[in-house]
Amino acid sequence: MNISLRIILLCLALFSSPFGALLANETSAATDSLFGQKSSSSLNSLSSSIEFVPVEQAYQFNLVVEEQQLVFNWEIRDGYYLYRDRFEFRSLNNSIELQAPSFDSGVVKWDEFFEKDLEVYYSQTTVRLPFSSTDDRVYLQIESQGCADAGLCYPPYKQWLDIDLTTGAVDISAVPPQQQTNNQNPPENISLPLVLLFALIGGLILNLMPCVFPILSIKVLSFTTTHQSNRSRHIHGLVYTSGVVLSFVVIAIVMLALRAAGESIGWGFQLQSPLFVIFLVYLFFVMGLGLSGYLEIGSNLMSLGQLSKRQEGLMSSFMTGVLATVIASPCTAPFMGPALGFAISQPTYVALLVFACLGLGMALPFILLAWIPGLTKRLPRPGAWMDTFKQFLAFPLYLTAVWLLWVAGRQTSMDVAAAVIAGLVLLVMGLWLWKLSAKLGGKLIAIAFLGAALAAPISTLSEDTEKSAFQAYSPERLSALRESGQPVFINLTADWCITCLVNERVALNSEKVTQLIDEQGIVYLKGDWTNSDPQITALLNKFQRSGVPLYLVYPRGPGPAQILPQILSESIIIEALTQASR
């Protein structure tokens, strides 16, 4: 994995160890470029770097029916690639027998999603599928999977083909044939009252989900110490309900608007945004700190109903309802599926009514608690146990944050996951400094840490991934390239080598270097020494080196390798590659 440089260098600078000082002296030019020239452009390109196209737009193919062979020609959008070993072809009828497909040669790429070297295709590729058939019409299911260089990996994408072998006509669908039939003839025996009942029950069950239950429990317990009068309970129950219902309706409006614009989304669509998932990681973590007692502001943030009987507490109840809806977004309760599936196929007013019933179901416990006095009397009496119980409820929130962190890592890369963890550490440190210092200077330092905590994952999301397509180093591959007289650039690196990572960000991944490598036909070999590798160790020993980085440039035709400095700049690498390609 390629740990975020900005986070590592920031931590080294903050703790200013002798090693950090040495690194700063040796790489001042590199870090100046990294934080001076790169940071603003990276942040400016954030929005474009995370705006991914739907999978059907990223990878498109046309099918040509030849004699005893199906030829698939894939067109791949710039910045995206397909995995060779993720192609699968299945026959859906007994009249066709498929043979082993033949593939074009791709490029070998270290894939952070699968954490190994994989052969991938950029721009376009062709797959030839031999077959024999006893019928003129055949049905196939094909499966492929790809990723974007910016960090998103799509799930395996299945398509169904209806092929007329006589005319060559092909009908391509993204849903199975039986599902197409079901969609064309939706069941008409589901009544609206039944759907609304399902929505109500599904919203009620949402309260039992681990991400929602802690907030529900604390809010319920707050009724034993606040809002003692009937009028106060009634008002706060209604305000909380309005916050939940309104939030569900807003989510429905946004979802329906996006679907009308052609987006294929459903409940939880906001979780498809890595930024929103990271926001939830921070939110659950901060709420957990509040319940654990480490963060006093956490109680206000979560609006747990402990703001006394003053009228201003109405905003607290409303925002608690909004927050409960936000943190419920990763969950889908039983009975919700049929209700949501029905809602998105109905007119807008029906869909909004279904979502409002979902919110009403989620708020139902508070409605009953607020309007039935006998339920309040049955709640446990206040005592010291409430604080212990509150601290216990923090752990489901921490576990939810861990799960969401895993989701963010799967959506993007291990770089982002590591940056989020570093951001959480900086967040805790900033809060600690805030509580520790009463002076303005200390508060400003704390604010700086809090800002760094928020910027950490965003800066990592905005970083460009490695642009040059490299091949894995092996002595056999190097020998074959040297025999053919091709110029070769070798980068021996490791994830734990800070100098290596700085050089890659500052020099090796620059636009000019990557363009020069592509234009001059220079083969880029990368040796990853993160784990022990005898072949890389042997190459290091051959050039009297005991560790990475090591950069070698072999010229076109015969000639010895040129050893580049351990601290690279864009000009150094361009000059060396230009000479080697002559």
pLDDT in tens, 75-94: 999 989 999 999 999 888 77
The CATH number corresponding to 466-580 among 3.40.50.280, 3.40.50.970, 3.40.30.10, 3.40.50.300 equals: 3.40.30.10
Q: How many CA atoms lie within 13 A of 309 on its CB side?
A: 11
Q: How many CA atoms lie within 13 A of 337 on its CB side?
A: 2
Helix (H, G, I), strand (E, B) or coil at 269: helix
Render the burial of 222-256: b for 16+ CB within 10 Å, e for the rest: bbbebbeeeebbebbbbbbbbbbbbbbbebbeebb
**Would you state the pLDDT for residue 564?**
93
Higher-pLDDT residue of 290, 551: 551
| 549 upstream amide cis, omega within 30 of 0 | yes
C-alpha torsion angle, residues 464, 421, 116, 487 (rounded to 10) = 40
247 neighbors 325 (Cβ within 8 angstroms): yes
**Would you state the pLDDT for residue 440?**
64
| CA torsion through residues 472, 473, 477, 478, sign | positive
Q: Angle CA(231)–CA(233)–CA(235) in degrees, nearest 5?
A: 70
- For residue 299, what are its two tokens? 């109680």
- Which pLDDT band holds residue 353 (cuts at 50, 70, 90)? very high
Overall average pLDDT of the 419-423 stretch: 86
Higher-pLDDT residue of 423, 335: 423
Overall average pLDDT of the 503-508 stretch: 86
C-alpha torsion angle, residues 573, 579, 580, 582 (rounded to 10) = 140
Bridge pairing between strands 523-528 and 488-493: parallel
**Would you state the pLDDT for residue 488?**
94
- Please name the residues in contact with 15: beta carbons below 8 A apart, sequence gap of 6 or more: none
Q: Which of the listed ranges 43-52, 107-116, 278-287 does the model predict with the highest average pLDDT? A: 278-287
Higher-pLDDT residue of 16, 215: 215
- What is the percent of the chain with per-residue pLDDT over 90, rounded to a whole number? 15
- For residue 450, what are its two tokens? 């809090």
**Would you state the pLDDT for residue 389?**
82
C-alpha pair distances (Å), 66 with each of 95, 130, 173: 17, 9, 21
Higher-pLDDT residue of 112, 193: 193
What is the average pLDDT value for the chain, to the nearest integer? 77
CB atoms inside a 10 Å sphere around CB 445: 17
**Would you state the pLDDT for residue 255?**
81
Q: Is 16 left (phi over 0), alpha (psi -120 to 50) or beta?
A: left
Q: Where are the beta strands (DSSP E) in 216-281?
A: none
**Would you state the pLDDT for residue 562?**
93
Higher-pLDDT residue of 142, 320: 142
- Which pLDDT band holds residue 174 (cuts at 50, 70, 90)? low
Give the least confident one: 44-53, 444-453, 535-544, 558-567: 44-53
Angstrom distance (rounded) from CA 258 to CA 254: 6
Render the burial of 23-47: b for 16+ CB within 10 Å, e for the rest: beeebeebbebbeeebbeebeeeee
- Which pLDDT band holds residue 310 (cuts at 50, 70, 90)? very low
**DSSP character at residue 84:** G
Angstrom distance (rounded) from CA 82 to CA 468: 16
Q: What are phi and psi of 123, to 5 degrees?
A: 70, -65
Helix (H, G, I), strand (E, B) or coil at 212: coil
pLDDT at 46 over 70: no
Listed residue (405, 467, 356, 396) closest to 79, CA to CA? 467
**Would you state the pLDDT for residue 123?**
92
- Please name the residues in contact with 293: beta carbons below 8 A apart, sequence gap of 6 or more: 387, 390, 391
**Would you state the pLDDT for residue 576?**
92
pLDDT at 137 over 80: yes
Overall average pLDDT of the 40-53 stretch: 48
**β-bridge partners, 137:** 164
- Please name the residues in contact with 209: beta carbons below 8 A apart, sequence gap of 6 or more: 328, 331, 333
- Please name the residues in contact with 530: beta carbons below 8 A apart, sequence gap of 6 or more: 494, 495, 496
pLDDT at 239 over 80: yes
Helix/strand/coil percentages in the chain, nearest 5: 55, 15, 30
- For residue 242, what are its two tokens? 């309005």
Q: Which of the listed ranges 30-34, 314-318, 467-471 does the model predict with the highest average pLDDT? A: 314-318
- What is the percent of the chain with per-residue pLDDT over 70, rounded to a whole number? 75
Quote the distance between the C-alpha of residue 257 and its chain's center. Answer: 23
Q: Which of the listed ranges 33-42, 147-156, 572-581 does the model predict with the highest average pLDDT? A: 572-581
Angstrom distance (rounded) from CA 127 to CA 140: 15
pLDDT at 187 over 70: no
Q: What is the CA radius of gyration of the chain?
A: 29
Domain boundaries, the chain: 62-184, 192-272+302-384, 466-580
- Please name the residues in contact with 482: beta carbons below 8 A apart, sequence gap of 6 or more: 488, 554
Overall average pLDDT of the 510-533 stretch: 88
Overall average pLDDT of the 304-324 stretch: 64
- Which pLDDT band holds residue 263 (cuts at 50, 70, 90)? low
**Would you state the pLDDT for residue 466?**
52
**Would you state the pLDDT for residue 183?**
42
Render the burial of 147-184: b for 16+ CB within 10 Å, e for the rest: bbbbbbbbeebbbbbebebeeeebeeeeeeeeeeeeee
- Which pLDDT band holds residue 231 (cuts at 50, 70, 90)? confident
Homologous superfamily, domain 62-184: Thiol:disulfide interchange protein DsbD, N-terminal domain (2.60.40.1250)
Give the least confident one: 80-89, 149-158, 174-183, 497-506: 174-183
pLDDT at 106 over 80: yes
pTM of the complete model beyond 0.95: no
pLDDT at 108 over 60: yes
